[in-house]
Amino acid sequence: MPLRKTRLVALAAMASVGLLAGHSLTYLRLAPAGSGPERLLEATGHGYLNQAALVSVALAAMSALFWFAGGILSSRVARPSVARTAATLAVIQCAGFGIQEILERVIAGAPLSDLAVVLALGLPVQLLAAAVGTLLVTALHRAGAAISRLLGRTGPQAPARPAHLFALELHFSSAVLPGGLRSRGPPALPS
């Protein structure tokens, strides 16, 4: 898979956590004071969020490893644009939030009449979650690059030859065999 598509998949995995976190935060803000947000979540078709969060966290962990490894390989892989990363996360999360809200209400039979209020509160929360995701992805990539620099890994290097590694000079002598033929003999250490 080309690098650009791989990054998009990794960003979508990271966006899933931001989408669900923003979704939950939006409904915590919408819940009337004194009432549990669980009732509001159930009434509006959001009862699945806890289970979805587990899958989302697993996807985000894989995405985090991808971005960290991308930083380690940064000498061979182009560095991602922070602005493009932020825009991609924002688009995925905001579009996902809108689609998710409509589908939840249709499936649960909840009214669409308060959708504008939910979107007015939820979309800015999604933008905030996308900004946090961008900071996380960027930090992971930079941490990987810093570790790569720290370890001095600039690419594959040829192993040192043992004679040069220990600064030994080895001399090879030839022995004269009967019939005038020469053969290689064992190394002789300098005297």
DSSP state of 191: -
Buried b (16+ CB within 10 A) or exposed e, 29-57: ebeeeeeeeeeebeebbbeebeeebeebe
Determine the residue type at 43. A
Cα(158)–Cα(109) distance, rounded to whole angstroms?
A: 66
pTM: 0.67
- Residue 179 pLDDT more than 90? no
Highest mean pLDDT range out of 5-9, 42-46, 71-75, 139-143? Answer: 139-143
Q: Specify the range with the lowest mean pLDDT, choosing from 97-111, 160-174, 175-189.
A: 160-174
32 or 102: whose pLDDT is higher? 102
- Residue 107 pLDDT more than 50? yes
pLDDT score for 75: 60
- Residue written as token pair 């669409």: 112
pLDDT score for 54: 75
What are the DSSP E strand ranges found in the chain? 171-176, 182-188
